[in-house]
Amino acid sequence: MSARRPLVIGNWKMNLDFVEGLHLVQQLGVLMKNRPVEHVDVVVAAPFVDLRSVSSIVESERFAIALGAQHVNAHENGPHTGEISTSMLKRLNVEWVIVGHSERRMHYAMSEEIVRETLAAVVRAGQHAVLCVGEELSIRENATYHEHVTAQLTSALHGLEERFHDLVTVAYEPLWAIGTGVNATSDQVREMTTFLRAELHERSFTSAKVIYGGSVNSDNAASLIAESDIDGFLVGGASLKAESFYAILRACDDCYAVKR
């Protein structure tokens, strides 16, 4: 059995000021130096105001951690009060950007059109876009979730030039599993990853990784990664503590070593 190199992204959401963020990355970096997670790409998606300090410590300590942002504006610059552009992120060595997280879609009016424009802006800037798709509970219950995520995928990827396809990762994040403590089961995740991979292949995104997010923690990470045919995780709550995030990294590293 062969496996793709896992990707684990910690989405801090609106948690940890820059001092707390520094502290967390320092602790995580030490854990990773003591026992490296050699086969996992590790990303932390910190709040905008934390990025500079986190970037500095990652660079000075040479931690094997890449930097991510949780959102970005699709415009290059101009009259967009309160917003941040891809070039600003690039100057801070941000290589990954989460696009269309359900919390932004739901609470900050991020339409399908804005998701598409944002994703295009991110990859054109040479950064990796992590496109979030997923259904809410009512859609899962009436069994139309395949159609729902297909529509999200189709809209977000529409018209994207083929040369940018390698920069797209898809995160399946069912809303009913986010922050609820109820993760999707391995069977549910596997069904959706298989489905999403097929949809991506059809659109010639042949190398796109598919990761899972929704109540991933140090207890369920090992079985999810082993049984679900996923390429990694997008982790919220459990990424806010170095020990729990590191345990998830370890689970992915161990699993990769076995599957390879």
Report, as residue numbers or ranges, the catalytic residues.
101, 173
Q: Are 88 and 97 in contact (CB under 8 A)?
A: no
- Determine if 68 is a binding residue for ligand 13P (CB under 6 A): no
- Of 124-163, binders to ligand 13P (CB under 6 A) are none
Q: Which of 47, 68, 214, 232 is close enough to bind ligand 13P by CB under 6 A?
A: 214
Q: Which stretch binds ligand 13P (CB under 6 A): 83-91, 109-117, 204-212, 228-236?
A: 228-236
- As measured in angstroms, the least distance from the Cβ of 103 to ligand 13P is 7
- Determine if 173 is a binding residue for ligand 13P (CB under 6 A): yes
Instruction: Give the binding-site size for ligand 13P (rule: CB under 6 A).
Output: 14
- As measured in angstroms, the least distance from the Cβ of 260 to ligand 13P is 26
- As measured in angstroms, the least distance from the Cβ of 145 to ligand 13P is 17
Quick one: DSSP state of residue 167?
G
CA gap 89, 63 in Å, rounded:
19
Q: Which stretch binds ligand 13P (CB under 6 A): 50-58, 111-119, 194-202, 229-237?
A: 229-237
Q: Residue 11 pairs with which residues in a beta bridge?
A: 45
Q: Are 225 and 232 in contact (CB under 8 A)?
A: yes
- As measured in angstroms, the least distance from the Cβ of 153 to ligand 13P is 17
- Name every residue whose Cβ is closer than 8 Å to that of residue 128 and which is 6 or more positions away in sequence: 95, 96, 97, 122, 167, 168, 169
> Strands (DSSP E) along the chain, which ranges?
7-11, 41-45, 66-69, 94-99, 128-133, 168-172, 210-213, 232-235
| Residues of the shown chain interacting with ligand 13P in the complex, contacts defined by CB under 6 A | 11, 101, 173, 178-179, 213-216, 234-238
